[in-house]
Amino acid sequence: MSKEKEFAKELINFIYDSPTAFHAVDSAKAILDKQGFTELKEESSWNLEKGGKYYVTKNDSALTAFVVGLGKIEEHGFRIIGAHTDSPCFRIKPAAEMTVEEHYVKLNTETYSGPILSTWMDRPLSLAGRVTLRGGDLFNPTTKLVNINKPILIIPNLAIHMNRNVNQGVELNKQKDMLPLMGLINESLEKGNYLISTIAKILNVEYKEILDFDLFLYEYEKGTIVGLNDEFISSPRMDDLAMVHAGITAIAKSEAVNSTNVVVCFDNEDIGSTSKQGADSPLLSDILERIVLTMGGDRQDYFRAIAKSFMISADMAHAVHPNVGEKHDPQNRPVINKGPAIKISANMKYITDSNSAAVYASICKQAEVPVQRFVNRSDEAGGSTIGPITASHLNIRGVDIGNPSLAMHSIRELGGVMDHTYVTKSFVEFFK
């Protein structure tokens, strides 16, 4: 097996173990713990050392890892890679169990972000997330992660015999058409609280101890390597767990240098980042300032450090589509496995400018990594990233990049085996 294919399988395993943002943070922590990183708590006093490796979490769904530089922070600044832990999916509502036709039990859900709805139909689904339990402190209840890890749900299509125009396109109603079937009523289901009872059994607690939950649907089937020459990665949540995995892998391998290296994995990017654990918050700026202050600097040193810093906003990019090539810019057409793409927008949907693009291109050249450019068609709005949002909180240079992919926001996205190695090599070089 080639080292690139082996590394791609590591990504597939990482994604499989990370069905929610909470689990993605837990998976990242496991990688960092193996490399000697120390977990810090927001509420505790920090004692940092030059060359020390640390991480801190927020809401169990966002994580910031850093290696304190050997030089003066105000002179060498921060080298930051940003990504996000969330992906489009469906969240379970309170009082979720719904009885239909006196026989079926389905779950009431709310759409999270913008999934391609049709891709969720007729697939084995499961549930995972965070459960809040009764604890000794009213303001600090106990939380536990849960993953049912069994195909207990499915969203069935309507047969073509009852929907003859289905192949001409059908608008799916999120409240009506996208509710997953859980089972048929039997003795245990008739007792009610079936979902809560199942979770309580997994966590080995009484169901009355469960106060609330953040539960999400996910595709049960694991990702895989596909293609005639094993060149593609087909997996859920490539956007953006591929960049999370690459960033965490790079900083876990990194040695202390003069600058302070940082990887920040925000939550809630797919719904606008406006949360305490999202990019549109003081999360990152507070942590960076706290590092400066803990290392003996003052607020002026913090501003000097930011002026010396650089950020890579890493979020998956759009590869040119083999069937719908006309949807792409006529000149800038990234291809899978030809290297990460620098993302450019005249309207600053991406943080990139010519200066920062040149910096990242030079890093790739030094790492012997090919690099491409992505620009939307002028008549297509496109999306945005954590880059511009972070720049609104930090006066920092930066570039938006991402690996080219197909079917973004589908339940199953497609990326490149070589690209995952390429982007990780560029991150390792960046941290040098």
Closest by CA to 311, choosing from 76, 80, 83, 77, is: 80
Instruction: Give pLDDT, residue 170.
Output: 87
Q: What pLDDT is recorded for position 366?
A: 98
By C-alpha distance, which of 314, 313, 316 is closest to 393?
Answer: 313
pLDDT digits (tens, 9 = 90+) for 48-94: 999 999 999 999 999 999 999 999 999 999 999 999 999 999 999 99
Q: Write the burial class of residue 205 (CB in 10 Å: 0-12 exposed, 13-18 middle, 19+ buried).
A: middle
How many other β-carbons are positioned within 10 Å of the β-carbon of residue 358?
12
In the predicted model, residues of the chain with pLDDT beneath 70 are 1, 187-192
> What's the pLDDT score for residue 189?
54
- 3-class SS of residue 122: coil
Q: Structure tokens of 260?
A: 């302070």
Is 291 within 8 Å of 48 (Cβ atoms)? yes
β-bridge mates for residue 374, sequence order: 343
Q: What pLDDT sits at residue 186?
A: 75
Q: What is the DSSP string of 58-104?
A: ETTTEEEEEE--SS-HHHH-EEEEEEE---SEEEEEEEEEEEETTTE
pLDDT of residue 136: 85
Contacts of 120 (CB under 8 A, 6+ apart): 90, 155, 178, 217, 219, 411
Which pLDDT belongs to residue 1? 61
| Residue found under tokens 């190695």 | 421
Q: What was the pLDDT predicted at 185?
A: 81
Task: State how far the Cα of 400 lies from the Cα of 379, in Å rounded to an integer.
Answer: 21
The Cα–Cα gap between 147 and 213 comes to 12
Nearest of 349, 350, 314, 344 to residue 329 by alpha carbon: 344
Beta-sheet strand order (sheet of 372-375): 38-40, 53-58, 62-67, 260-266, 78-84, 310-314, 397-402, 341-344, 372-375
β partners of residue 282: none
pLDDT of residue 292: 98
- In this prediction, residue 381 carries a pLDDT of 85
Give the DSSP letter string of 160-204.
GGG-TTGGG--PPPTTTT-PPEEEE--HHHHTS-HHHHHHHHHHT
The predicted structure's pLDDT at residue 188: 59
**In which region does residue 368 sit, left (phi positive, over 0), alpha (psi from -120 to 50) or beta (all else)?**
left
Return the pLDDT at 191: 57
Cα separation of 118 and 371, whole Å? 33
